[in-house]
């Protein structure tokens, strides 16, 4: 089984504990799962947003600068957790690895170059590329509507909601690929582990196929 685990920048203070919990669980259960962590941009991407606004940086340059910011977060995650880095998705080994996405995206270049395409969409694209389950770990329980958790929603319905805890393009990508996605609060590492195991946890389940 393959899993793409997107770890949002909002979890920068908790990500090391989350990763260590996932690694320990896989080791203790001797699971043969292959987990590819796609890092968010966090404060590194926020710096690019500010620079883009201040210096009128175009979408093309800002896109690649933001992808490079994801790599900064990847190195932070590696440093805090000891999880190894990879720069492509070929010949994945069992266990957990953290993707450095820049070179892979430059080589394939299949995604729109805009601020609408963030690490959420990139994670979905990676999951589609390797045939993996997609889990997005963030700092909220999932998609909220007036403060209430939506436990299940279609990608089409999510798209109509406007601004949520995902980027704008993710619902369209899920629809296009017929992929599902689970959004779970990564401040509770046990929930992420349960989601990896396919268990029902407090989360939002996005259905790509209607």
pLDDT at 53: 77
Rg, the chain, Cα only: 16
What pLDDT digit, counting tens, does each position of 66-109 carry? 999 999 999 999 999 999 999 999 989 999 999 999 999 999 99
Those residues whose C-beta lies under 8 Å from the C-beta of residue 102, and which sit 6 or more positions away, are: 64, 67, 68, 70, 71, 87
pLDDT at 210: 65
CA distances in angstroms from 112 to 54, 125, 171, listed in the order given = 22, 12, 14
What is the rounded distance in angstroms from the CA atom of residue 207 to the CA atom of residue 59? 30
pLDDT at 50: 84
What pLDDT digit, counting tens, does each position of 24-75 carry? 999 888 888 999 999 999 888 888 888 877 888 888 998 999 999 999 999 9
Q: What are phi and psi of 170, to 5 degrees?
A: -50, -50
Residue 138: in which H helix or E strand, if any? strand 133-138
Sign of CA dihedral 106, 95, 121, 9: negative
What is the rounded distance in angstroms from the CA atom of residue 136 to the CA atom of residue 190? 14
What is the rounded distance in angstroms from the CA atom of residue 62 to the CA atom of residue 66? 6
Residue predicted with more confidence, 193 or 160 = 193
What pLDDT digit, counting tens, does each position of 127-138 carry? 999 999 999 999
Provide the angle, in degrees to the nearest 10, between the axes of the packed helices 59-81 and 15-29.
Answer: 60
Q: Which domains does the chain have, with CATH numbers?
A: 2-207 (3.40.1160.10)
Cβ-based neighbour number of residue 169 at 10 Å:
22
């Amino acid at each position: 089984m393959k899993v793409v685990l997107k770890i949002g920048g909002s979890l920068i203070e908790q990500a090391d504990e989350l990763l260590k919990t996932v690694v320990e669980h896989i080791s203790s259960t001797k699971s043969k799962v292959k987990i590819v962590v796609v890092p968010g941009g966090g404060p590194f991407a926020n710096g690019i947003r500010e620079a883009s606004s201040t210096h009128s940086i175009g979408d093309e340059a800002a896109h690649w600068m933001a992808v490079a910011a994801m790599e900064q977060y990847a190195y932070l995650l590696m440093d805090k957790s000891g999880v190894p880095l990879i720069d492509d998705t070929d010949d994945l080994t069992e266990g957990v690895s953290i993707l450095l996405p820049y070179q892979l995206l430059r080589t394939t270049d299949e995604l729109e170059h805009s601020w609408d395409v963030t690490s959420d969409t990139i994670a979905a694209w990676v999951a589609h590329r390797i045939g993996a389950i997609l889990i997005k770990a963030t700092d909220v329980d999932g998609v909220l509507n007036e403060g209430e958790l939506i436990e299940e929603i279609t990608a089409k319905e999510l798209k109509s909601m406007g601004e949520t805890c995902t980027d704008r393009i993710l619902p369209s990508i899920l629809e296009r690929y017929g992929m599902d996605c689970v959004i779970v609060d990564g401040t509770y590492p046990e929930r992420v582990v349960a989601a990896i195991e396919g268990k029902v946890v407090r989360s939002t389940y996005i259905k790509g196929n209607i």
